[in-house]
Amino acid sequence: MSAAASDGSVAVAIIHFHHFPDVLDTIASALEQGVDPGMVCVIDNGSDDGFGAAVAGRFPGVTVVEKHENLGYAHAVNAGAAWATAQGAKRLLVMTHEVRLAPSALSLLTDGLARGSDRGVAATAPLVLRRSTQEVWSAGGDLDGQLMPVARSAFRDEPPSWVDGCCFLVDLAAFRAIGGMHEGFFLYMEEIDFFLRLADSGRSVAVIPEAGAEQEPGGMSLYFSVRNRVLLARRRGRPMLAARVAAEHALKAVVEAGLRKRSPLLRRQRLLGALHGVSAKRDGSAVLTGTSVRRIGAGR
């Protein structure tokens, strides 16, 4: 265990949505790293399933922040960062509700952050395995010329452009310096936007392959894969690419409708993704509430 895991300088924010009781194992995994329960917070995105009482009973001292509405992953991470800052933490470990950490993972992430600080490293991430197969799920990733995320299937020495938002440790001063995460993405690609902005500020993220974690991930909906890629292109100063991606998907939705190809729900997700990607405010402001996003079948 690193000293940082027990001296109060590291806080843990676990992002939760309808994953009870499995989230209890995630909390236990974090506490097994040597973190004081008082430095662990669970941000619940409006699950309304009464899990808070179970957490209080099993893990006294762990804080539960229950939101009345699902405002998205980035909103929960920002809330976790604000809570951690109020506790006096210097670094924040972000975990989603299905992640499990290998022994000493937090120690390795913390040490990696300290070693890389002179090179501008402001965040570290573990090598994440898919729980069911033990194959690499996340070793970070890059973007192609069209801003399409390309995940790495194995660890590489060169720093990635981004790491998966399921698990990473970040320096809170660097997090605040770039304004945290933009909440308009609602779900997916907000971590890509965050780590690209971190790079813009002269900082970077590093994968620590010795630090292990595992999860059983779900897939990204068609709605968010379209909407958020358009929004990312706009935020990266690529308006022509954003317009082209939106137009291509809108046309595909029309053609699929004419050919009766794909389900009406998927065609609707594609079309709405294109339209909302264009209409969302470039600063990241959401055009939808969590409730309306779930209504179109795209919410987690």
- Token pair, residue 57, equals 């009973």
In CATH terms, the fold of domain 3-215 is: Spore Coat Polysaccharide Biosynthesis Protein SpsA; Chain A (3.90.550)
- From 111-115, 237-241, 254-258, the region with the lowest mean pLDDT: 254-258
Rounded Cα–Cα distance for residues 154 and 165 (Å): 17
CA nearest neighbour of 130 among 66, 62, 217, 71? 217
Q: Where are the domains of the chain?
A: 3-215, 222-295
How confident is the model at residue 52, as a pLDDT? 80
Q: What is the mean pLDDT of the segment spanning 220-229?
A: 92
pLDDT per residue as tens digits for the range 94-110: 999 999 999 999 999 99
CA nearest neighbour of 10 among 100, 124, 99, 121? 124
| DSSP element (H, E) containing 27 | helix 23-31
CA nearest neighbour of 247 among 255, 235, 237? 255
